[in-house]
Structure formats: C-alpha cells, structure tokens
Amino acid sequence: MVNELDPVAGDLVLDLATGTGDSAKAIVRKGIRVVGLDISLEMLKLARKKIPDDSYQALSGSAYAVPVRAETFSAVTCAFGIRNMPETPKALKEICRVMKKGGRLVLLEFSMPAGFINGPYVFYLRKVLPFIAGLFSDREAYDFLGESIEKFYRPDEFSQIIIDAGFSKCEKRRLSLGCVYIHKAYKG
Ligand SMILES: C[S@@+](CC[C@H](N)C(=O)[O-])C[C@H]1O[C@@H](n2cnc3c(N)ncnc32)[C@H](O)[C@@H]1O
C-alpha cells in the first residue's frame, strides 16, 4: 500500500482507521508526515507508543466526520479499515472532502476470491480461522472478521462506490489470490 501511495516530500497523509499504527508506521518511515485517525482511543494510545516520531499525529474521531478542514491532505490511506464502516459511501465522501485536489486515495482491503479458491477460503473463514484464533484469543472477533469479509463489496462494485463518492481514475490490484485488493483513486 505504501509503495502504491508513492509518497513525496511535503505530503501530509491521513491514515484512516489507523488502529495500532502498523500502516502509519510504514509511511512515517519514508519521512512523510502522517495523521492517524481512529474512533478508538485505546488503539490510538498503542499507535502513539509504536510511533513516537514528531511526524505522526494521533487524532481521535470518526471517518464519517473527520475533524479537519476541507482539502487538508495530499493523500489518504486505509488498511483493513473501510470494511468496518457500514456506511461506506458516506465515509468515502468524507475522505474526498478532506483531500486536496489531485490527492491520492489508497485502500488495502480484504475481498472474497473468485474461482476454485472461493470454497476453501469460505471454509477457512467460517471454521478454521475462528477455531485457531479461539485457542489464543476472542473467537467472536474472528467470527466477525470472516462475516465482514464475506459481506463486503466485490472489487468491481467497490470501484463504482469509490467513483460515486467523487474520485476518478480508480484502479485495483489483486493480491494473495484475490483475498486482498489495493484500490487506488484520485480526487479529480
Ligand atoms: C483492522 S484495524 C486497522 C488496522 C490499521 N490500519 C493498522 O495498520 O494497524 C480497524 C480499525 O478501524 C477503526 N474504526 C472502525 N470504525 C471506524 C470509524 N467509523 N472511524 C474511524 N475508525 C474506525 C477501529 O477502531 C480499528 O482500530
């Protein structure tokens, strides 16, 4: 995702649903200033610990109402976060509002693979993953993970939602046999 973002000096990037900061950390490492937004204060505290750099700012808030002025960011990233926002079109419109003209949007998200891998992957999400995860942590969280992946938009549908939110030149890149996609677009 960071390579697709192709950050340049002077960029100010919004890392939406920054969580514990793994994606933000990878961007900060490139010498880029990042604002990490998350709805969970606990996640932000962990992100702050992981990224003590001055070039990282943790911001508490919702993706549906980002607490900044319009046209603030040169790029927006979101790794495995947009699927957790049931009002996805609303979140994408809000992302578009806070981006500068020409700004880049790069999203990394799970998807359901097509073809022969689909059946085994459904079995993995419904049975194997929750079982293994349940041995070490909260099984329910992994039941939710699988359900949310199965319910999320198919890649073509998602591209259209990105375009409808005001973006252009939407491209997608298939990774891990279609279990993950990178979606990239620009604010026109
Ligand atoms: C899987 S984690 C993201 C991982 C993170 N991008 C990373 O690289 O470590 C999903 C995050 O989405 C956040 N989230 C869910 N709904 C949100 C919303 N409406 N606005 C902002 N953050 C939200 C959750 O609090 C959680 O931290």
User: What is the position in ligand 1's atom list of the atom closest to the CA of 19?
Assistant: 27
77 lines ligand 1 (CB under 6 A): no
40 lines ligand 1 (CB under 6 A): yes
User: What is the position in ligand 1's atom list of the atom closest to the CA of 20?
Assistant: 9
159 lines ligand 1 (CB under 6 A): no
Measure CA 53 to chain center: 22
**Model confidence at 188: pLDDT above 90:** no
DSSP for 133-157? Answer: HHHHS-HHHHHHHHHHHHHSPPHHH
Helix (H) or strand (E) holding 123: helix 118-123
**What are 108-140's pLDDT values in tens digits?**
999 999 999 999 999 999 999 999 999 999 999
Tokens 């973006």 — which residue? 167
Q: What's the chain's average pLDDT?
A: 96
108 lines ligand 1 (CB under 6 A): no
Do 32 and 53 contact (CB within 8 A), yes or no? no
> What three-state secondary structure class fits 4?
helix
**What are 33-67's pLDDT values in tens digits?**
999 999 999 999 999 999 999 999 999 999 999 99
